[in-house]
């Protein structure tokens, strides 16, 4: 959490880790995959269903929010030989 918070602040990003609890994580890991994503590809299925009646449908059903871009390629250029190392993995 410390690193996520530091990185978010460094790049002026809003970062939330609201469900980071050992009990919640253990519970979630025991659930079937179809609780998380619907057959037509809608993610956060369990969370969206749980919020029905609490969060307005216009917000609960949004699908246009995406994460931020991670400059993966430029990160590989930082260390010489990193691409070859990845290819061996």
Percent of the chain with pLDDT over 90: 17
What global pTM score does this model have? 0.52
Residue 78 has pLDDT above 60, yes or no: no
Q: Are residues 59 and 45 in the same domain?
A: yes
Who's near 3: CB < 8 A, 6+ residues apart?
none
Q: Are residues 21 and 39 in the same domain?
A: no
Backbone angles phi, psi at 17, to 5 degrees: -125, 65
Q: Which domain holds residue 11?
A: 1-30
Q: Are residues 17 and 5 in the same domain?
A: yes
Q: Are residues 53 and 43 in the same domain?
A: yes
Any domain includes 78: no
What pLDDT is recorded for position 20? 75
Any domain includes 37: yes
Any domain includes 8: yes
Give the residue carrying structure tokens 């993966």: 72
Any domain includes 10: yes
């Amino acid at each position: 959490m410390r690193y996520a918070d530091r990185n978010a602040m460094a790049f002026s990003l809003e970062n939330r880790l609201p469900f980071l609890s050992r009990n919640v994580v253990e519970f979630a890991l025991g659930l079937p995959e179809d609780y998380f994503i619907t057959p037509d590809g809608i993610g956060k299925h369990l969370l969206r269903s749980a919020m029905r009646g609490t969060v307005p449908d216009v917000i609960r059903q949004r699908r246009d929010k995406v994460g931020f871009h991670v400059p993966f390629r430029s990160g590989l250029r930082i260390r010489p030989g990193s691409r070859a190392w990845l290819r061996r993995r």
